[in-house]
Structure 1
Amino acid sequence: MKHALIVFFLMMSVIAKSQVRMNQLGFYPNAPKVAIVVTKDSADAGFTIVSASNNKVVYNGKLSALQHSSNSSLQTRTADFSKFKTPGKYFVAVKGVENSYPFTISKNVNYVAAVASLKGYYYQRVSMPLYEKYAGKWARPAGHPDTAVLIHASAATTERPEGTVISCPGGWYDAGDYNKYIVNSGITMGTLLSAYEDFSGYFDTLKTNIPEEGNGVPDILNEVIYNLRWMLTMQDPNDGGVYNKCTNAAFDGMVMPGVTKLPRYVLQKGTAATLDFAAVTAQAARIFKKFSAQLPGLADSCEKAALAAWQWALKNPNVRYDQNAINKQFSPKITTGGYGDGRFVDEGCWAAAELFATTKDGQYLYELRKYINDPMTLPNWGNVSGLGIYTLLRNSKALDLSSSETEMLKRKVLSFANAYVEAIPSNAFKTVMGKSKADFNWGSNSNAANQGIALINAYLLSKDKKYLDAALTNLDYILGRNATGYCFLTGVGTKSTMNPHHRPSVADGIVEPVPGLLAGGPNPGRQDGCKYEFLEPETCYLDESCSYASNEIAINWNAPMVYLSNAIEALQDKL
């Protein structure tokens, strides 16, 4: 075993020297095929595509001119072999640099990543054991039961005073920690539900080997339901407001889930959490009506919960979750993630859009028209209005939007996407990701995936292939065509993230990390204080478990990866 590990790490050391950066899985036969060579050599040079089975050259090409990256001191040359379409296993050879790792040209080439990123949620499940049949060597006992959670003083009401015991089991661990947050579940669930709405035919047959498989509900929705049922327990039945999170007072150490037995609390209700909840449950109600036989009453329960949450938000339009203020007033002090948000226009837009799409009630359209002319922005947990725009356009034929409003929203998305497409030629890695240094922040890989979603939506609206090709560049980025040379999805590719800031991956004694989890990605902010070898925006990534600023995982980062990778698989024949 020890010898095998030594060989493994020596192999990884050699791979790490590779200057050829590409999607480590490979390429679809008819799709664009690009590899990037990191080099300082400006001499005219060529590259070859070589068969991995017999070392025969099957394609000759010329490298592009040398290009300086605007996001680091790296210089690159592009190997474009899009004309080569023969299925098989190959590697790229360039004189003077290490050969690339092997890659495949085939149909369904990104299927492994698409399924893994969705299956990643199963490994984050709270309150249930993960059996070997489904989890393989990452099987583990159940984590936190969350059947006896305390009302924190910040959340106390007459009906539920401080210390009241409630039950809120299930859901997903949010990130590398063991807590559950409504705000971050909001964008996560909205993205996964939207993936299903946009590609329901594809997802209806996608299997991920989870316990619910075969119950007549698609696996992506089975996984969503596991978190949805937890979310429903986070709504106060007395007034419709939603608690911000279910959490320990402080983060657990690097131990397996359930090892610690510290008290768990639900925290203050807030406008952001409640509106995110309203949006998710309204969208869920719309989708699960289709599965009323398999899930009796769930759609109705979701719609009822959404309406109650909306009414609470109307009465409480500006309740900010401010953890610092809470800790000055109440005990115990809470030091886990805050997901504090002081601006609620975007949540209001998204919730109104989902409620309007589900109920067709004009009161929500009235609310929407307050926000409908606001600029398009890339969704993140603190700015979710873009999800509302996607929903309005997705359901435009069934909604009472004027043709001018629909066209305005369509132009907004296409203009937003065009700015990404136009930036590709000037990028040294020929991806949408890296349009500016601002792309590289905490959770930068979710920026790449969410940019891909924007481009997929532009494609669905226009059927213009340029948007689909552009979205593919960002999937290629996440899977290896980037300045670090890493595939950022655990368990996928030849050189992928091995040491994420993820408690089970650290504590389980298994060399390989839990699979299917997207690392945060390059982040020059380095908020964790770890020692980074590279400090420039696109290279500032550290594959060490201490690096929560660049190497943590999170459910809201995996969700756009699920959408992007599965959308590309669903649309591969259009590439």
Structure 2
Amino acid sequence: MFAGFFRTAMCLLILTGLVSCGGGGGSSNTAPTPIPQPQPEPEPEPPVTVVGEGPFIVVDQFGYLPDAKKIAVLRDPVTGFDSEDTYTPGASLQVVNTLDNSVVFSGSATPWLDGEIAATSGDRIWLFDFSSVTATGNYQIVDTEQDLRSPAFAINDNVYREVLVQAVRTFFYQRAGHTKTEQFAGASWADDASHMGPLQDANARRYNSPDDEGSERDLHGGWYDAGDYNKYTNWTASYIVDLLHAYRENTHVWTDDFNIPESGNGVPDLLDEVKWGLDSLIRMQNADGSVLSIVGLASASPPSSATGASLYGDASTSATLSSAAAFAYGAKVFAALSTPEFNSYAADLRTRALRAWNWANANPAVIFRNNDEAAGTAGLGAGQQEVDDTERGFKRLVAAIYLYDLTGDISYRDYVDANYQTAPMFANWWLSPFRASIQRPLLYYTALDDATAATADAIRNRYVELWEGDDGWGAATNRRDPYGAFISDYTWGSNAVTSLAGGMFADQQTYNLGQRDTAQIRNAAAGYLHYLHGVNPLGKVYLSNMGDFGAENSVDQFYHTWFAHGSALWDSVSNSAYGPPPGFLVGGPNPSYDWDERCPGVSSLCGSAQPQPPYGQPAQKSYTDFNNSWPLNSWSVTENSNGYQTAYIRLLARYVK
């Protein structure tokens, strides 16, 4: 193009007489000697800085509180399934108001650890701090040089309110024996009451006496535990305790308008949900104070179509101690409502807690192992709810704490004083979110009136000392995980561990531990929320179907009997009519994932290789949205659990007004 333009210009000069087209004579036919043409320098190729789909800029897709620390993570994948993607941030980044596209902040990103590759993600990371942006609004992070934008996010004083509502409502969807009308469940997930047919929950029979009418018990109610429909007493009791703590740690959050059947009755909806769980434990308690261990429920999709019999397991010491703690703490909280109805309810719970404690003391080692061929219980339930001697000792210690809180009886305090040092934080100098079930009740003991001062001081001091180490404040202040949510190991249920780790920071504010100020504590704990809300290598909000609530990339499908693989209605958000309901927290990245050991030779369902991801990836990339059952066994990665949910709710509620 340039040479053609040059020749045309020369002709114009000839026509104007400024240049001659001929040689020396007018009659010569000899062509003129060509004039050398200047050649343009080739344009330099721009450096390749973006390859692939990313995500490259990850943020909390719901948003941030105005006074919170706000850090976007920019990522260049180096190892893992996305290693062929490439991104190098531009020299300047912008925070843009999506309403009018105005730039409210500009700055540069800082390399994490001078460009070191993060082992848990396989990513090279840059951090972009935009904490100075505090005005209410909706925003994106923009790399104009690379023409990239983050997902949109909000900044406001109550940015997580609707997220909390949806997370709590998952317990309504998990209710067994309760009609889910369109008014409360929505047309997409309406269903008749499940497991209320012949020989089901209202007429459940003993696991080894399915033909014995005399063994029938009314055990209706309660919650499906996870993606299976079984009801496990040890775990149900722990969910109740966690939800009660979530209530008491931020009582003004819990309003009466979460759109469940009890909404509008004058009682916070969270307590209505807790009561649903407590009522089911009441039905599980025997007259002597012992508590049945499990009810195994039939599977089907939707739940109301399940027709198989419900079978229950025998009472156990562990189930009875777990229930004693739940009854005792429930009695404390419901008595504080100070109404005639709940005064009576609390008094009944108190009596049940004492009876359970007394039976467990008289029967300290009654074991019931479900789904155990050697024990004759194969097929009863799925997960193993029974515990060993050490864990049973921890359950006794926890029950004593809540009974002391309820009664003020010093015999329970004496038991705590004599046994608190058996906890791992004392016995093994190990403070970890993996042991939150014993550590958090011990912290609660330190705040009780008339707790033994020496015991309380020992617990508080040991907690502070250990959490100042590399896995606690050392990890937070040094940003040991570039995504801001360090945990020591990624295992089955890593998202629950992440929630619990965030809770361990938040607990320092609740119990006034250490020398950290409120802003430090809240920002450290919030980093774990941000991770679950999208600040992770996948840019994934680890809650289901949250597109209507601000998430650009939330969980599309997860393992659950109701929302089963292949269901035309509920399989996935993107490829079925409805997908699963909003708000379920999935298990999360699990680098130990593998398909069934009999693959690929036995079953044609396996495929030629394990799905990657989650298989064979850096820890934080060991996740994908899938809900295949056997033999791909997605449950170890994507299944929900009420335990994951309560850990998340308890953390999230601290950031809601």
TM-score by length of 2: 0.78
Contact kept, 8 Å, 1:17 with 1:98, in 2: the verdict is no
Q: Which residue type is aligned with residue 217 of structure 1? A: V
- By percentage of residues, which structure has more helix? 1
Larger Rg: 2
Distance in 1 (CA, whole Å) between partners of 2:495 and 2:319 is: 24
CA, structure 1 residues 162+413, in 2 after alignment: closer, same or farther (shift >3 Å)?
farther
1:346 counterpart = 2:401: no
> Mean Cα displacement is larger for which, 498-507 or 40-49?
40-49
TM-superposed deviation, 1:187: 2.0
Match of residue 172 from structure 1: 223
- Which of 179, 184, 198 in structure 2 is aligned with 1:134? 184
TM-superposed deviation, 1:296: 4.9
Match of residue 604 from structure 2: none
TM-superposed deviation, 1:219: 0.8
Match of residue 656 from structure 2: 569
Question: How far does the alpha carbon of each residue in 1:510-556 deviate from its partner, in whole angstroms, 9 at most, with x for none?
Answer: 33321111011001121554623242211101211121111111101
Match of residue 246 from structure 1: 295
Question: How far does the alpha carbon of each residue in 1:456-500 deviate from its partner, in whole angstroms, 9 at most, with x for none?
Answer: 110123353311111100011111111221101113211000101
1:297 counterpart = 2:364: no
Match of residue 130 from structure 2: 81
1:541 counterpart = 2:591: no
- Which of 392, 414, 417 in structure 1 is aligned with 2:445? 392
Distance in 2 (CA, whole Å) between partners of 1:231 and 1:163 is: 21
Distance in 2 (CA, whole Å) between partners of 1:503 and 1:32 is: 39
Distance in 1 (CA, whole Å) between partners of 2:559 and 2:278 is: 25
Deviating above 6 A after TM superposition, structure 1's stretches of 4 or more consecutive aligned residues are none
Match of residue 500 from structure 1: 558
CA, structure 1 residues 331+551, in 2 after alignment: closer, same or farther (shift >3 Å)?
closer
> Mean Cα displacement is larger for which, 327-336 or 522-531?
327-336
1:101 counterpart = 2:151: yes
1:554 counterpart = 2:607: no
The secondary structure found in structure 1 opposite 2:461 is helix
1:148 counterpart = 2:203: yes
Q: Which residue type is aligned with residue 323 of structure 1? A: N
Q: Number of residue pairs matched? A: 540
Kindly report which structure 2 residues correspond to 1:293-372, keeping only aligned pairs within 5 A, or say none. 293-323=340-370, 327-330=373-376, 333-334=379-380, 336-342=382-388, 343-372=391-420
Match of residue 141 from structure 2: 92
TM-superposed deviation, 1:131: 1.2
The secondary structure found in structure 2 opposite 1:370 is helix
Match of residue 213 from structure 1: 263
The secondary structure found in structure 2 opposite 1:37 is strand
1:124 counterpart = 2:171: no
Distance in 1 (CA, whole Å) between partners of 2:438 and 2:405 is: 15
The secondary structure found in structure 2 opposite 1:153 is coil
- Which of 611, 626, 631 in structure 2 is aligned with 1:531? 611
Kindly report which structure 2 residues correspond to 1:397-436, keeping only aligned pairs within 5 A, or say none. 398=449, 400-419=450-469, 420-424=472-476, 425-431=478-484, 433-436=485-488
Match of residue 113 from structure 1: 163
TM-superposed deviation, 1:378: 4.3
The secondary structure found in structure 1 opposite 2:180 is coil
The secondary structure found in structure 1 opposite 2:386 is coil
Q: CA RMSD in A?
A: 2.5
> Mean Cα displacement is larger for which, 455-464 or 296-305?
455-464
Question: How far does the alpha carbon of each residue in 1:184-207 deviate from its partner, in whole angstroms, 9 at most, with x for none?
Answer: 11221111011112222332x363
Kindly report which structure 2 residues correspond to 1:407-486, keeping only aligned pairs within 5 A, or say none. 407-419=457-469, 420-424=472-476, 425-431=478-484, 433-436=485-488, 438=489, 440-462=490-512, 464-486=518-540
1:228 counterpart = 2:278: yes
CA, structure 1 residues 558+352, in 2 after alignment: closer, same or farther (shift >3 Å)?
same
Q: Which residue type is aligned with residue 561 of structure 2? A: R
Question: How far does the alpha carbon of each residue in 1:225-267 deviate from its partner, in whole angstroms, 9 at most, with x for none?
Answer: 0111001111112x2111111113xx625x2102121111111
TM-superposed deviation, 1:383: 6.6
Contact kept, 8 Å, 2:495 with 2:588, in 1: the verdict is yes
> Mean Cα displacement is larger for which, 492-501 or 268-277?
268-277
TM-superposed deviation, 1:567: 0.9
More RCO (CA 8 Å, sep 6+): 1
What is the identity percentage for the equivalent residue pairs of Structure 1 and Structure 2? 26
Contact kept, 8 Å, 1:429 with 1:481, in 2: the verdict is no
Match of residue 31 from structure 1: 68
Question: How far does the alpha carbon of each residue in 1:389-438 deviate from its partner, in whole angstroms, 9 at most, with x for none?
Answer: 132134x2x2x22323222222233335434222032434342x3332x1
- Which of 279, 297, 300 in structure 1 is aligned with 2:325? 279
Distance in 2 (CA, whole Å) between partners of 1:366 and 1:174 is: 34
Match of residue 32 from structure 2: none
Distance in 1 (CA, whole Å) between partners of 2:640 and 2:89 is: 41
Distance in 2 (CA, whole Å) between partners of 1:165 and 1:120 is: 30
CA, structure 1 residues 316+16, in 2 after alignment: closer, same or farther (shift >3 Å)?
farther
Distance in 1 (CA, whole Å) between partners of 2:96 and 2:272 is: 43
The secondary structure found in structure 1 opposite 2:138 is strand
Question: How far does the alpha carbon of each residue in 1:440-468 deviate from its partner, in whole angstroms, 9 at most, with x for none?
Answer: 11111111111122211101233533111
Contact kept, 8 Å, 2:413 with 2:452, in 1: the verdict is no
CA, structure 1 residues 209+100, in 2 after alignment: closer, same or farther (shift >3 Å)?
same
Distance in 2 (CA, whole Å) between partners of 1:23 and 1:409 is: 34
Contact kept, 8 Å, 1:375 with 1:412, in 2: the verdict is no
Distance in 1 (CA, whole Å) between partners of 2:282 and 2:261 is: 21
CA, structure 1 residues 334+476, in 2 after alignment: closer, same or farther (shift >3 Å)?
same
